[in-house]
């Protein structure tokens, strides 16, 4: 296996998060009760999504400056994997919200913001599918990707924090997220490794898709 | 009269605080019976299964890469 060490690291970290996430003591909080442990699984999905989208953004910029189609392929595959993570985050969040807020979806700035951000990236995939010429597709989608990234960051990370309306979601509208109120230090010991672990697993899937992509290209053009 | 109302108010406060300070219900039963290990085991098996699958894909891709680069 290529790049054995970081793949192993990802496996070990996620396994640690699964075991530690269920067995470590967590603060007892009303409404959340035991579901506070979802923090170790739901939030890493979003972090992995955002990091993979950052990888895609970098690849798009690299494509624009070099014209290397391999970079364009990397950008689009990174979006595919990040959307997988994003949808997993969305569905786990809906299940969690159904328990804590009583409904899978509220008209919350954070929730609607993430939905819009995901739709922006779905539009990216549709845009790519609608363009036939390779170089044209690469150029247009790379430029779109840069705008999409900015919008995603605004919708997920900025607007929910700026909006005056109260958000139910932690980390927005006056609700703390990573502050001492929500998370104690034992939780952090599981939470951060979980983020790194899931990001590495996502990167692994991305690298596999890229390698398959290279093989395909070689078969097509040689 | 005032004394009485203050007393009632105070007792109401204590009832309210008592409700807040009430113990949050956690799945301590699941833990004490050791059944939580079953959950951890199931999830670990699922994750390891997915990882084994990923590794097998990885190996296959490596094999193809070697074949194609010959």
Q: Does A218 touch chain B (CB under 8 A)?
A: yes
- Which DSSP helix (H) or strand (E) runs through A19? helix A4-23
Confidence label for A170 from pLDDT (cuts 50, 70 and 90): confident
Contacts of A115 (CB under 8 A, 6+ apart): A90
Q: Is the distance from CB of A82 to CB of A48 less than 8 angstroms?
A: yes
Residue in chain B closest to A203 (alpha carbons) equals B54
Handedness of CA B14, A102, A194, A62 (dihedral sign): negative
Q: Which is higher by pLDDT, A176 or A164?
A: A164
Nearest to A215 among B54, B57, B65 (CB): B65
In the predicted model, what is the mean pLDDT of residues A196-220? 94
Nearest C-alpha neighbor of A205 from the set A33, A77, A28 = A77
Q: Which is higher by pLDDT, A116 or B13?
A: A116
Does the pLDDT at position A211 exceed 90?
A: yes
Distance CA A173, CA A165 (A): 6
Confidence label for B23 from pLDDT (cuts 50, 70 and 90): confident
* Start-to-end Cα distance in chain B: 99
Residues A105, A111, A117, A122, Cα dihedral to 10°:
-20
Nearest to B47 among A1, A15, A22 (CB): A15
Half-sphere exposure of A46 (CA within 13 A, CB side): 22
pLDDT in tens, A34-54: 888 999 999 999 999 999 999
Identify the domain containing residue A167 by its residue range. 36-221
**CB-count exposure of residue A117 (10 Å: 0-12, 13-18, 19+):** buried
Tokens of A42: 């739901």
Residues of chain B neighbouring A17 (CB-CB closer than 8 A)? none
A115 occurs within a structural domain:
yes
A21 occurs within a structural domain:
no
Tokens of A58: 């970098």
Q: What is the pLDDT of residue A169?
A: 84
Q: Is the distance from CB of A210 to CB of A80 less than 8 angstroms?
A: no
Residue in chain A closest to B39 (alpha carbons) equals A22
Three-state DSSP class for A26?
Answer: coil
* Start-to-end Cα distance in chain A: 25
A167 occurs within a structural domain:
yes
In A67-156, which ranges are continuous DSSP H helix? 69-100, 109-130, 134-153
A8 occurs within a structural domain:
no
Lowest mean pLDDT among A55-69, A75-89, A170-184, B10-24: B10-24
Q: Does A115 touch chain B (CB under 8 A)?
A: no
| DSSP annotation of A181 | T
A2 occurs within a structural domain:
no
Q: What is the pLDDT of residue A182?
A: 64
Q: Does A6 touch chain B (CB under 8 A)?
A: no
Residue with tokens 């301590």: B28
| DSSP annotation of A37 | G
Please report, rounded to a whole number, the percentage of residues in chain A having pLDDT higher than 90.
70
Domain count, chain A: 1
Q: Is the distance from CB of A164 to CB of A126 less than 8 angstroms?
A: no
A93 occurs within a structural domain:
yes
Tokens of A217: 């290209």
Handedness of CA A142, A119, A54, A154 (dihedral sign): positive
Work out the number of other CB atoms within 10 angstroms of the CB of residue A45. 24
A16 occurs within a structural domain:
no
Q: What is the pLDDT of residue B11?
A: 64
């Amino acid at each position: 296996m290529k790049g054995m060490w970081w793949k192993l690291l990802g496996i070990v970290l996620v396994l640690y998060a699964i075991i530690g996430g269920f067995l470590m003591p967590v603060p007892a909080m009303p409404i959340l009760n035991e579901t506070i442990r979802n923090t170790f699984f739901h939030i890493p999905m979003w972090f992995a999504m955002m990091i993979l989208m950052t990888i895609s953004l970098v690849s798009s910029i690299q494509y624009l400056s070099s014209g290397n189609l391999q970079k364009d392929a990397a950008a689009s595959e990174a979006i595919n994997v990040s959307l997988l993570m994003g949808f997993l985050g969305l569905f786990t969040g809906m299940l969690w919200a159904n328990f804590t807020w009583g409904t899978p979806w509220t008209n919350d700035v954070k929730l609607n913001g993430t939905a819009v951000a995901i739709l922006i990236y779905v539009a990216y995939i549709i845009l790519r599918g609608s363009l036939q010429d390779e170089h044209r597709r690469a150029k247009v989608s790379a430029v779109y990707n840069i705008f999409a990234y900015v919008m995603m960051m605004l919708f997920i990370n900025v607007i929910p924090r700026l909006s005056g309306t109260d958000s139910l979601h932690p980390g927005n509208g006056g609700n703390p997220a990573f502050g001492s109120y929500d998370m104690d230090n034992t939780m952090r010991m599981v939470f951060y490794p979980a983020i790194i672990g899931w990001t590495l697993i996502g990167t692994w899937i991305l690298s596999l898709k890229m390698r398959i992509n290279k093989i395909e290209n070689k078969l097509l053009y040689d | 009269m005032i004394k009485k109302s203050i007393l009632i108010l105070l007792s109401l406060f204590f009832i309210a605080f008592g409700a807040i300070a009430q113990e949050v219900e956690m799945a301590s039963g699941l833990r004490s019976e050791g059944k939580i290990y079953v959950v951890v085991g199931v999830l670990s098996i699922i994750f390891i299964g997915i990882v084994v699958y990923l590794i097998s894909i990885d190996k296959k891709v490596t094999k193809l890469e070697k074949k194609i680069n010959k």
